[in-house]
């Protein structure tokens, strides 16, 4: 089993959709939410995902395709 | 003697030992260094600082080392210039430039953070240092690692022009060109940092590295005869510099070295890469990542690691934020050069352009002390202004040819 820590940013139109749950169910990925913030226009979720490496990649690709911004929690590395 | 108490989570404030840690294992918040200020207060006086060599380590008690510094011994204490010519153009009374475009050894403020990172990396037992960078950070890690005898790995996107890495390659680090888009390079470096036992300066030893920026603020306060300016305009990429300038000034206040800090801090970013400016203007607790598009490449960070904290600092101080378009950046670079004789890189153009805007908007009053942060040298980004400057006048090698031109000019 592999683990991955990511920051997800949800644009306003996606805030009300249960995308994290759908991703978890569809790709058998276990999310552990560590930090979350939601404002009127945007949502942010910091979580740890656990699953098979391939499933993690597919799950994050699913979120990206839906319009969620998936980023490493350390921010941009290339300075 | 070390004054580091340990590391502390900026989100949940949990404490950690002073080891190679950079995120909180509970909330994944970033960690920062916590000091024993009571002990520092007993030993760090103005007299002591003034008696030391003019480099960034004259404030060493406030930097995260356990022993004596070994790197950057000629770094820092760059000029704080009273910019009367530029002040006249901008219509203000008391204007200063803190000029890190002449910092040692690689002409940018990154020399400060890298000096701390390398000294700390050695203390933590590393023999290899690394970074992912398209410019100033790569130059500084390469040069200082060469001086320190450390092995250096520099990761760059494969499509970066070779000219940009010459100022790194000359110091003989291992330069790895990654074939992938910007996001993929970011992701890969994040993975490498978690797997290899290297000091990746802006990832796994970031809490220590970032502290080096505080010296920029200490020097400003000392050079202003032990006071903080009322306004300071700071360029922002990852957002760290803003938070550390504020931390530095507040530490000086806490130690009684300067009176109460009433500084308003302003964030400057390039239009097309301004997620922090957007968050400040919208007063949003969330920084929305963007795909950067600006000529200010050294500020082109779409997902800033310290964006939220930078936004918080700016608003807490009563400051504001603005962005500068590519044209405004070039004009500002030219303005600074033609008034103060300082050739800054595009990031400096952003800062000067934004200062001008904030003065025009009356966000910054004309009769109070203002510091513009210049963090890098224009010789590194000549392509940004190359097409925007007049060409030289061509003449024949005769006196008459010269006088013909000279008559026309008069």
Chain B residues within an 8 Å CB radius of A37: 285-286
CA of B284 to nearest chain A CA: how many angstroms apart? 7
Q: Which of B206, B181, B176, B381 is closest to B291 using CA atoms?
A: B181
Tell me the backbone φ, ψ of residue B11, rounded to 5 degrees: -95, -60
Chain A residues within an 8 Å CB radius of B134: 78-79
Question: Ramachandran region of residue B383, left (φ > 0), alpha (ψ -120 to 50) or beta?
Answer: alpha
* Residue B126, C-beta contacts closer than 8 angstroms, at least 6 positions apart: B150, B197, B198, B199, B205
Query: Among B22, B30, B133, whose Cβ lies nearest the Cβ of A78?
Result: B133
A13 has a chain B CB within 8 A of its CB: no
Contact criterion met (CB below 8 Å) for B297 and B134? yes
Q: What is the ipTM metric for this complex?
A: 0.92
CA of A28 to nearest chain B CA: how many angstroms apart? 23
Q: Is the Cβ pair A37, B286 closer than 8 Å?
A: yes
Q: In what order do the strands lie in the sheet with B31-35?
A: B15-16, B4-9, B31-35
Torsion (CA) B34, B70, B126, B164 in degrees, nearest 10: 100
Which residue shows structure tokens 């007049």? Answer: B390
* Residue B234, C-beta contacts closer than 8 angstroms, at least 6 positions apart: B241, B242, B245, B265, B266, B267, B268, B351, B373
Q: Is the Cβ pair B131, A79 closer than 8 Å?
A: yes
- The model's pLDDT over A14-28, given as tens digits with 9 standing for 90+, comes to 999 999 999 999 999
Q: Which pLDDT value is given to residue B26?
A: 96
Chain A residues within an 8 Å CB radius of B186: 72, 76-78
Q: Is the Cβ pair B155, A73 closer than 8 Å?
A: no
Contact criterion met (CB below 8 Å) for B246 and B267? no
Which residues in chain B land under pLDDT 70?
Answer: none
User: In the structure, what pLDDT confidence band is assigned to residue A54 with cuts at 50, 70 and 90?
Assistant: very high
Give the number of residues written for chain B.
410
Q: Which pLDDT value is given to residue B164?
A: 81
Query: CA geometry: angle at B164 spanning B160 and B165, to 5°?
Result: 90
Q: Which pLDDT value is given to residue A15?
A: 93
Q: Which pLDDT value is given to residue B182?
A: 80
Q: What domains appear along chain A, each with residue ranges and CATH number?
A: 2-72 (3.30.70.260)
Residue B268 host element (H or E)? strand B264-270
Mean pLDDT of chain A: 95
Q: Write out the residues of chain B at the interface with chain A, using a CB-CB cutoff of 8 A.
A: 11, 22-23, 26-30, 131-137, 155-157, 182, 185-187, 189-190, 193, 202-203, 206, 237-238, 282, 284-286, 288-289, 298, 301-307
In angstroms, the first-to-last Cα distance of chain B is 67
Q: Distance between CA atoms of B289 and B408, rounded to whole angstroms?
A: 54
For residue B390, what is the DSSP state? P
């Amino acid at each position: 089993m592999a683990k991955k820590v990511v920051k997800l940013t949800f644009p306003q139109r996606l805030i009300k959709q249960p995308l994290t749950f759908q991703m978890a169910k569809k790709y058998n990925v276990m999310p552990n939410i560590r930090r979350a913030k939601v404002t009127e226009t945007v949502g942010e979720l910091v979580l740890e995902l656990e699953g098979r490496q391939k499933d993690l990649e597919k799950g994050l690709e699913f979120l990206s395709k839906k319009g969620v911004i998936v980023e490493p929690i350390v921010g941009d590395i290339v300075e | 003697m070390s004054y580091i108490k340990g590391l502390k989570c900026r989100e949940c404030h949990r404490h950690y030992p002073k080891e190679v840690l950079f995120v909180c294992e509970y909330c994944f918040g970033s960690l920062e260094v916590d000091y024993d200020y009571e002990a520092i207060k007993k030993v760090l006086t103005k007299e002591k600082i003034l008696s030391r060599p003019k480099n960034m380590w004259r404030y060493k008690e406030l930097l995260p080392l356990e022993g004596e510094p070994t790197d950057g011994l000629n770094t820092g204490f760059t000029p704080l210039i009273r910019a009367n010519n530029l002040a006249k153009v901008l219509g203000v009374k008391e204007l200063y430039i803190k000029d890190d475009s002449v910092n040692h050894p690689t002409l940018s403020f990154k020399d400060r953070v890298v000096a701390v990172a390398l000294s700390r990396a050695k203390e933590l037992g590393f023999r290899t240092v690394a970074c992912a960078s398209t410019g100033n950070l790569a130059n500084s890690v390469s040069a200082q690692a060469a001086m320190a005898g450390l092995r250096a790995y520099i990761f760059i996107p494969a499509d970066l022009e070779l000219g940009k890495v010459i100022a790194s390659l000359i110091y003989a680090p291992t330069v790895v060109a990654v074939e992938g888009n910007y996001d993929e390079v970011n992701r890969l470096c994040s993975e490498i940092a978690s797997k290899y036992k290297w000091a990746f300066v802006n990832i796994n030893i970031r809490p220590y590295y970032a502290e080096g920026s505080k010296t920029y603020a200490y020097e400003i306060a000392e050079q202003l005869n032990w006071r903080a300016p009322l306004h300071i305009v700071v360029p922002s990429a990852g957002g760290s510099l803003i938070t550390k300038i504020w931390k530095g000034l507040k530490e000086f206040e806490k130690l009684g070295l300067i009176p109460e800090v009433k500084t308003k801090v302003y964030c400057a970013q390039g239009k097309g890469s301004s997620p922090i400016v957007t968050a400040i203007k919208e007063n949003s607790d969330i920084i929305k990542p963007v795909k950067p598009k600006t000529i200010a490449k050294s500020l082109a960070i779409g997902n800033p690691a310290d964006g939220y904290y930078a936004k918080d600092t700016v608003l807490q101080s009563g400051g504001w934020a603005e962005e500068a378009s590519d044209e405004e950046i070039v004009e500002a670079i030219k303005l600074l050069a033609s008034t103060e004789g300082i050739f800054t890189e595009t990031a400096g153009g952003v800062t000067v352009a934004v200062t001008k805007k904030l003065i025009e908007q009356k966000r910054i009053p004309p009769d109070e002390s203002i510091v513009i942060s210049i963090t890098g040298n224009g010789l590194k980004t000549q392509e940004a202004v190359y097409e925007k400057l007049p060409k030289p006048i061509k003449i024949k090698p005769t006196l008459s040819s010269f006088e013909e031109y000279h008559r026309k000019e008069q």
